[in-house]
Structure 1
Amino acid sequence: MADIEIGEKAFITGRLSARQQFHVARRLAPLFAAMVSNGGKSDLDGIAGGGDVDLSKVASSIANLSDADCDYVLDTCLSVVKYRDNGTVCNVALPSGQLRYDWIDMQMMLRLAGAVVQDNLAGFMPTAPSGSNDAAVA
């Protein structure tokens, strides 16, 4: 589990089961492959170093994911995220997959899902350089 703050909101990311990790990694494999550039360096290394990044490969991989795969990844990742406010902790997603809070916009949703992916699939995806807390898929 990891704490993440977005704006002034505090969240806790949880752990996916091994089976959930497998299915998320399987669906995101084309995206991970697109993020790896020449020499095995990830595009995230280029971003951190101010280098050029071929966003067209990444965007194309995202565009080619089916709606069902996108929904699976988002629903699975958001199912293990909790919102912390004044000592109260609540899941951000309802069992139906709907978001509990209407103030969670697309950018926040993607950052939360990206944080879960990074925390749970660190060994299966290109990672940000050490010392970085940036989510890889955000």
Structure 2
Amino acid sequence: MLIGNHNYEIGRLDAFDQFHVSRKIAPIVPTIVPFMTEILKSNVMDLLDKFGDDPDNPDLSALEDFDLNSFGAAIQPFIDAIAEMPEEDANYVMKKCLSVVTRDGARLVVKDALMFDDLGIEHILPLTIAAIRINLGNFIRGLLTQALSKKQPT
């Protein structure tokens, strides 16, 4: 996964870490589906690429065809759920997920310490989400499928 000028590789959490991360993020799982659906529908990643490489002078013309209201409505419950997450849980999830991410063969987090001074939220958040998707994607999909099937009239 390329972020900035660095290539990152997402590794695997062991089964116990998968279990503990999944129970910490369980309250936000229901908010992920609308958020991810909107990201896929609106092609947000392509949109972000169109802004250009200069963060001080982004190309805002890319927003002309973007439905910001729909995206905002989909992302708000996800943002609210993350905001309500206890700091200890959020730190646990990020550090545990980033501990299996490498850059140039070196782990990003070792013994709860971030190993690279140049990493910001714009790096660690997408990497954490990627680690969750890779390590827990099938499990989360299964939970959501079960929850949705229970809501269907029989």
Return the match for 1:73 from 93, 96, 99. Answer: 93
Shift of 1:47: 2.5
- SS of 1:15's partner is coil
Shift of 1:93: 1.3
> Which residue of 1 is the match for residue 109 of structure 2?
93
Structure 2 residue 125 is matched with structure 1 residue 110: yes
Instruction: Give the whole-Å Cα distance in 2 for the aligned partners of 1:12 and 1:79.
Output: 11
> Which residue of 1 is the match for residue 28 of structure 2?
31
Instruction: Give the whole-Å Cα distance in 2 for the aligned partners of 1:79 and 1:46.
Output: 29
- SS of 2:8's partner is strand
Return the match for 2:17 from 12, 17, 20. Answer: 20
Larger Rg: 2
Identity of aligned residues (%): 29
Shift of 1:35: 2.5
Instruction: Give the whole-Å Cα distance in 1 for the aligned partners of 2:109 and 2:39.
Output: 31
Shift of 1:103: 0.5
> Which residue of 1 is the match for residue 135 of structure 2?
120
Structure 2 residue 37 is matched with structure 1 residue 45: yes
Instruction: Give the whole-Å Cα distance in 2 for the aligned partners of 1:105 and 1:120.
Output: 22
Please tell me whether the aligned partners of residues 35 and 78 of structure 2 are also in contact (alpha carbons under 8 angstroms).
no
Output the TM-score relative to the length of structure 2: 0.67
AA paired with 2:110?
L
Q: How many residues align?
A: 113
> Which residue of 2 is the match for residue 135 of structure 1?
none
Instruction: Give the whole-Å Cα distance in 2 for the aligned partners of 1:12 and 1:76.
Output: 15
Shift of 1:46: 2.4
Q: CA RMSD in A?
A: 1.6
Output the TM-score relative to the length of structure 1: 0.74
Instruction: Give the whole-Å Cα distance in 2 for the aligned partners of 1:124 and 1:32.
Output: 11
**What stretches of structure 2 of length at least 5 have no aligned partner?**
43-66, 142-154
